[in-house]
Amino acid sequence: MSDEPIQAGDLHKRYGNVEAMAGIDLTVPAGTVLALLGPNGAGKTTAVHILTTLVRPDSGWARVAGHDVVREAASVRATIGLAGQLAAVDDFLTGRENLEQIGQLYHLGRRASRQRASELLETMDLADAAHRTARTFSGGMRRRLDLAASLVGRPPVLFLDEPTTGLDPQGRIALWDVIRRLVDDGTTVLLTTQYLEEADRLADQIVMMHLGRVISRGTADELKSAYGGDRLELRLADPSDSARAAGAVATLGTGQAQTDADAGVVTLPVDDGAAALPAVVRHLDGAQVKLSGVLLRRPSLDDVFLALTGSSPDTTADAKRHVPAEAG
Ligand code: ATP
């Protein structure tokens, strides 16, 4: 068996009649980042919970740092770091106390705990707030402290469950820098995210999940070129022209145009937006459709998801996942 730090095969997990995990395979090579990308309810957290021994799979197998997640759960736990949506931060302790306490749980000794806390406070840009209680921290500071807490034991394998959800753009970029530096130093990271941009910036490999299944995997570039290109958002002067506009530009796109008839917006996937625009405008003109504006943008997670599943994450997440109890 190869010695990839994170490996899993055919993982299944069911909660009642909800199939949270329906046969997932994963491999994360050492010193790389794998992003599990998907909407709410896709099964990302369940995957992290299984790999970090918090939840047992119904079937399938997983090994983390060479240890089986079910039979050698204690060894897995001793090797990994986990930072997640539920911040492991004690509100009534200061930033420094939070980290020193964890150092002592790792039996680092008082002096080494203090030193490790200082290093991490510095790395996470929290040195100035080290003596404030965590309840006075902003959301971004709490996330950074939570991540610092997961790093006290210098784990070679790190799990990050939606590490930047709820952060402002600046906080998000700061956290990405920290994560990238950890990976440059050899840490293996599995993270979950709903943000395409986050996966794009951080991940060597992206696994896109939907309803407990892998629906696509590859590098960010591979995903984008398979499902991406540009998007031309055509804003119509008269929303009732939506169907006519979509028909007029249908042959110019790399895929089907999406129509929001209420808003009067037709979104067309194209390879190169700037190159496609003149023909799009000509065709609309020919169909006597008036534009009030045009927006050229890169695909969003929604666009990629839409291309893969034919519907938007909003309407497909938990609502569609309930399968009859007797199935499987
Ligand atoms: P989010 O981005 O919202 O965290 P997710 O992709 O991490 O979503 P999971 O939390 O893994 O998704 O959930 C997958 C499915 O399993 C969801 O339908 C969820 O409601 C269900 N589920 C997860 N944990 C439990 C549980 N303990 N009991 C019952 N159902 C659960």
Do 188 and 56 lie in a common domain?
yes
pLDDT (average), residues 2-9: 90
pLDDT (average), residues 130-145: 90
pLDDT higher than threshold 50 for residue 326? no
Last residue of a domain, one of 224, 245, 278: 224
Question: Does 114 reside within a domain?
Answer: no
Q: Which atom of ligand 1 is nearest to the CA of 318?
A: 18
Give the Cα separation of 118 and 152 in Å (integer). Answer: 11
**Residues comprising the chain, all counted:** 328
Question: Does 210 reside within a domain?
Answer: yes
Question: Does 50 reside within a domain?
Answer: yes
Mean pLDDT of the chain: 87
Q: 292 CB under 6 A from ligand 1?
A: no
pLDDT confidence tier of residue 311, bands split at 50, 70 and 90: low
Specify whether the CB–CB gap between 134 and 93 falls below 8 A: yes
Pocket test for ligand 1, best of 45, 48, 85 (most atoms within 8 A of CB): 45
The pairs formed by 117-124 with CB atoms below 8 angstroms and a separation of 24 or more are: 117/152, 120/148, 120/151, 120/152, 121/95, 121/96, 121/148, 123/148, 123/178, 123/181, 124/148, 124/178
State the pairing for strand pair 157-161/188-193: parallel
Q: Which domain holds residue 259?
A: 230-297
pLDDT higher than threshold 60 for residue 136? yes
The CATH number linked to 161 is 3.40.50.300
The CATH number linked to 242 is 3.30.70.100
- Give the tens place of pLDDT for each residue, 224-263: 767 667 889 999 999 999 999 999 999 999 888 889 999 9
What 3-state DSSP class applies to 192? Answer: strand
E strand residue ranges, 139-297: 157-161, 188-193, 205-210, 213-218, 230-236, 258-260, 265-270, 291-297
pLDDT higher than threshold 90 for residue 97? yes
* Whole-number percent of the chain with pLDDT over 70: 90
Q: 313 CB under 6 A from ligand 1?
A: no
What pTM value is reported for the model?
0.79
Report the range of poorest mean pLDDT among 17-31, 128-142, 164-178.
164-178
pLDDT (average), residues 188-217: 90
Tokens of 279: 């023909």
Tokens of 275: 């190159």
pLDDT (average), residues 298-323: 60
- Report the DSSP beta bridge partners of residue 21: 13
pLDDT confidence tier of residue 71, bands split at 50, 70 and 90: very high
Which pLDDT belongs to residue 171? 79
